[in-house]
Amino acid sequence: MKAALLYEGGVLRVAETPDPVADGWALVEARAAGVCGTELHFVDGMIPPPVIPFQLGHESAGVVLSVPEGAGGVQAGDRVAVYNFVGCGRCRACTTGRESLCTAPVGQLGFSLPGGFADIVRAPVSNLIPLPENVSFESAAILSCSGMSVVHACRLAEVSLGDVVVVDGIGGVGAMAVQVAVAAGARVLAVADTQNRGDLALELGASDAIVLDGGVGYDTLPDRVRELTTGAGATHYVELVGTEDTYLAGIRSLGRGGKVVIIGYTDQHLNVHPIELILSELQVITSVAGSRRDLETAIDLAATDRLRVTVDTRYPLEDIGTAVSRLKAREVRGRNVIVW
Ligand SMILES: [Zn+2]
Ligand SMILES: [Zn+2]
């Protein structure tokens, strides 16, 4: 089969490689694989690959080719999304629906196990989630990273009816965060760096878009949030930018008992005096990836038209280099997807 492999020095190249051997797992014929910002970290060396060469890709969907004998659930021919995290299945995290915190994981497709940028993908049968007819392979692939993560974050932070959620950063993940918070019953205030992204947030259900320009910066954002909430402040601040300024703006935009939900990060630190948190009993919540159930929920939201996925461009596997370099150049609105 063909696969996109990462070689020494961050070189990503499509090459012939042996077909995977099922060995107790399922095989899936790839139909779509999302190109995530994480890929850039492999290419630039921030995340070291487990082996050289390494088959990248952790957002994948396709058609089941084979399942091990006696396996229940999905069958050959079924359309599925591939949940990329392979937990031990036995620890407390795995048995309480928080697989991504597994203490003895088998691995993660596209991070430590061969990933989805390949004609055939190998995964445990329990990681395959059947797709409703009206959820496309490309949507399913993208939901299996950003969609799932956003559902997970909103669950951890208990976003619910009547809440006021600020979503800071309207990229691929932010666009989904707006929709998931709206689906949970919250009012959403979007914080965007351009009018274009602000408009996108409004289209996706945000009640207000705060565009950072000469008028509003991160220093005055908390005042703007209070103006829009009759002085109360937000109940949640979903932080997707990850700089010291944005963390502090998030904390200061919250009302009493509010929660800052940290998903984004850069090389900057969260630097705050505890008293700023203590006096209003603010909570700092962090969120990483998601559980199989979170992915199922994301797929259900998409199937019922409550979560739309924005695809920028579709590429054949051979053109993965172009898809990655356009992402690096920040030219991508939504996600680039490899399709078969
Ligand atoms: Zn991803
Ligand atoms: Zn486990």
Whether the per-residue pLDDT at 214 is higher than 90: the answer is: no
Tell me how far the alpha carbon of residue 84 lies from the centroid of ligand 2, in angstroms: 14
CA–CA separation, 275 vs 112, rounded Å?
40
CA–CA separation, 72 vs 128, rounded Å?
11
Distances (CA, A) of 256 to 24, 137, 283: 52, 42, 10
Tell me how far the alpha carbon of residue 58 lies from the centroid of ligand 1, in angstroms: 6
Q: Which ligand ends up closest to the CA of 101?
A: 2
CA–CA separation, 154 vs 238, rounded Å?
9
* Residues bordering ligand 2, an ion, CB closer than 5 Å: 87-88, 91, 94, 102
Tell me how far the alpha carbon of residue 34 lies from the centroid of ligand 1, in angstroms: 7
SS3 174: helix
pLDDT of residue 71: 86
Return the bridge partners of 7, or none: 11
Tell me how far the alpha carbon of residue 205 lies from the centroid of ligand 1, in angstroms: 24
Whether the per-residue pLDDT at 171 is higher than 80: the answer is: yes
Tell me how far the alpha carbon of residue 57 lies from the centroid of ligand 2, in angstroms: 22
- Residue pair 156/131 in contact by the 8 Å Cβ criterion: no
Distances (CA, A) of 200 to 46, 178, 221, 301, 310: 31, 10, 20, 19, 10
Q: How confident is the model at residue 282 (pLDDT cuts 50, 70, 90)?
A: very high
pLDDT of residue 78: 98
SS3 292: helix
Mean pLDDT confidence for 170-181:
94
CA–CA separation, 130 vs 28, rounded Å?
12
Tell me how far the alpha carbon of residue 204 lies from the centroid of ligand 1, in angstroms: 21
Mean pLDDT confidence for 102-122:
97
Whether the per-residue pLDDT at 46 is higher than 90: the answer is: no
Whether the per-residue pLDDT at 152 is higher than 90: the answer is: yes
Distances (CA, A) of 300 to 183, 294, 305: 12, 10, 9
Mean pLDDT confidence for 279-285:
97
Tell me how far the alpha carbon of residue 27 lies from the centroid of ligand 1, in angstroms: 21
Tell me how far the alpha carbon of residue 211 lies from the centroid of ligand 1, in angstroms: 26
CA–CA separation, 109 vs 56, rounded Å?
8
SS3 20: coil
pLDDT of residue 37: 87
